Amino acid sequence: MGNLSTISNKSFSVLNGMPSYLGIEQKQTVEPEIFSQLVAELLSIGKANKLRRVSVHLQKGTDAYEKHASYLECCGFEMFTSSVEYYKNLSDVQEEDTYFSYHTLGNSNLTEQEFKDLWKRVMHGSANRASTLSIDEQLQSLKHELGLGWERNCGVFYLEQLPVAVCIPHIEPGTKDEGRLFYFGVLPEVRGKGYAGILHKCSLQLLKDMGARYYVGSTHETNTSMQRIFEKSGCKERGRKASYYYYLNK
């Protein structure tokens, strides 16, 4: 599989989506020499494991951003998207009084196939750029990243018996209290009804119940609707990132 510790340091965290993808996400500044070593090791691990792609997620607006981005392009990486990252302290999150219920693969009769079908429908027509992975590959990567008990993270919001949104809350691997949503979105047929804003706040409560102290979320720069939802939930923009992909099986 390769030693993932060689690409994990104080400047980058590892996004382990094997067997489909592997990525590194910038946390702080890094010298060009160390950056090139990390990229070389990332490519080596990706090729050795025959992954679909590897990715590097850079902080925009830093002094070294242009240099790092140029280096990635010289190595054959392609710009996939730019995203806006948000942060919220969850201490002031209060439970929403709604008519919605939330059920997961781990605590209901919802089947894995039904969940995949709903997830696929939610992604259809999203303002975010479509994933390069199939729904089966995305679920397999989720299982690998979240590990044992992943079924308890994969859930659906319902209005009475009607499924209205997919939500996958979790504690970020490698942290004790960083809450994230692996995916969040409402079904196409209920968009424009105001559900997304309510359910995003409900999702923050789910994270708090899991033990998250704070929330980190992101959406593509083109998805202005989701950016407004973040802001209405009390989230503050904390930076922007550019995602570069290297495809290993063209």
On the question of pLDDT at 1 being above 60, the answer is no
Residue ranges matching CATH 3.40.630.30 in the chain: 4-84+242-247, 89-237
Mean pLDDT, the chain, whole residue set: 93
CA angle, residues 232, 221, 215, in degrees to nearest 5 = 45
pLDDT, tens only, 145-161: 899 999 999 999 999 99
103 touches 155 (CB < 8 A): yes
- Alpha carbon distance 224, 201 (integer Å): 18
On the question of pLDDT at 76 being above 90, the answer is yes
Element spanning 162, H or E:
strand 162-171
The amino acid at 198: I
> Integer distance in angstroms from the first to the last C-alpha of the chain?
21
On the question of pLDDT at 250 being above 70, the answer is no
In terms of CATH architecture, what is 89-237? 3-Layer(aba) Sandwich (3.40)
67 touches 79 (CB < 8 A): no
pLDDT, tens only, 105-130: 999 899 999 999 999 999 988 888 88
16 touches 129 (CB < 8 A): no
Beta bridge partners of residue 180, listed in sequence order: 170
CATH 3.40.630.30, domain 4-84+242-247, yes or no = yes
